[in-house]
Every structure is written in C-alpha cells, then in structure tokens.
Amino acid sequence: MKRTALAAASALSLAAVLTACGGSDQGTDSNSKPEKTTASPAKTLSPAEQVARLMVTKAEAGGYSVRKPSAGDSLAETQDEMNVDKAACTPLAYAMNELPVGTSEASLTRVADKSTGMLTYITLSTYADGKAATAMKDLTTAADSCGSGFTAKSNSGSTTYDSVTVETAPSGSDESLATAATFKFRGLTQTIRTQTFRFGDTIASYFTLDSSAFMNAHLGKAKIPADLVKAQNSKLG
C-alpha cells in the first residue's frame, strides 16, 4: 500500500509502515488601407495544463486542505515501477496507489484532508480520444475478476490485498466505479476505498485511507467524502 502512514501533522508514507501516489508582419503599400486586427486565438492548453486547471483547489474544497503528496506516499512513482502478481488486477493496483489507470496523456495527484487522519488522494488524468473509456473498461474488469485479492510490489515494498468488493458509485458521470479492498496490518483487517469517474476523456480517481487506524492500531473507517467528490466532479461534468 503506502510507504508510510500520515502522522497527525505531516504526510508520511503508508508503504513504509506496511513494509517496515502571431505570424510575421505583412507590409502594405502607401495606398492600401490598414488591415483590421483580430485577437490572437486562445492558447490551446497542454494535457498537463488541462489537469492542473481542473484540479480542485483549497478554496473550492470546502474546508479541506489540498496539497501535493509527500515524496514516497505511493508504493510506486510510475506504472513501470509497479508489479502485480495477477496481471488482470493491475488497473486496481494503479487506482489504489495514485497512478493513472490505462495510458494517459497527463495526470496530477493531490491529497485532501481535514486533519482527521482520513486522507483522500485525487488523481486526475486526461487521455487521447477513446482511451479513457478503454481505461474504465479495464478497471471494471479488474474489479469484477479480482475479488479474491492480489499482491502489488515495487522496489519500495509490497502490499497483499485480501479481497476487493465492488460498491455503489455515485452517479453524474459518463461512467463510474467504486471499490473497497481489505488487507491485514498488525493483526487487524483494514479497509481502503476507491471511486473512479470518467467525464469524456478525463478520469478522476479518489483513494481514501484512515491513516489514524494504522498509527493507533484500531479498525479504520475509510470513507470517501461525498462533499469533496462533489466539489471536484463539478469542475469536470
């Protein structure tokens, strides 16, 4: 999973805990009339600029802090660093580790919380035409076929998920999927949750864990906050 859990005031990696996210001017002759000028066409945003513009801000998030994840928060920094024992489950491993699902053109991750220990990672990804729908299809197939769990590994460590359950996802997007996954930590079965939404060629993926449960050795209550999802999804749909 993560390389550390978050302490009360600073982001630490859960994985470390578990193994102790205008042309040129044209000349005119003296008798010609001046040409009318027109505004320059708007600059086309790059994929990276698109996801940066679409990411929810602290001002929009209704009381949540919104910040960059700490270095090492994710089990793997890139898809290439992630290895999964069951290939079909790879899209789930990405969604649970702040990585884009499928082949994206650009992605951006932020972590939001209200200092309660409940951390929600938001990953926005933009895709070439049709690729987002393919990514959602692969993720849905993974959720349906990986109920008995899987193991994700990287050079930073590994996490074995004991089960994956498909839950009811909120409506309002072109496609959506919600999952709950369990794994054992210090003798307790902890639960993490994801919700993933497709809006055209953009995918928003939410991943929530209860870091206080890992720090204080009690059962977690990970639940993806509906108000945060609403704030972010309203910028996409």
For residue 155, being part of any structural domain is answered with yes
For residue 4, being part of any structural domain is answered with no
Q: Is residue 115 exposed (0-12), middle (13-18) or buried (19+ Cβ within 10 Å)?
A: exposed
Total domains in the chain come to 1
Q: pLDDT per residue over 129-166, tens digit each?
A: 999 999 999 999 999 999 999 999 999 899 999 999 99
Q: Is residue 174 exposed (0-12), middle (13-18) or buried (19+ Cβ within 10 Å)?
A: middle
How much is the pLDDT for 29?
42
Q: Is the dihedral of CA 42, 46, 51, 57 positive or negative?
A: negative
Give the residues across from 118 on adjacent strands: 210
User: What three-state secondary structure class fits 140?
Assistant: helix
More confident residue, 170 or 18: 170
CATH code of the domain containing 164: 3.40.1000.70
Q: pLDDT per residue over 189-228, tens digit each?
A: 999 999 999 999 999 999 999 999 988 999 998 999 999 9
Q: pLDDT per residue over 82-108, tens digit each?
A: 999 999 999 999 999 999 999 999 999
The residue among 104, 102, 111 whose CA lies nearest residue 134 is 102
Parent domain of 73: 14-18+48-233
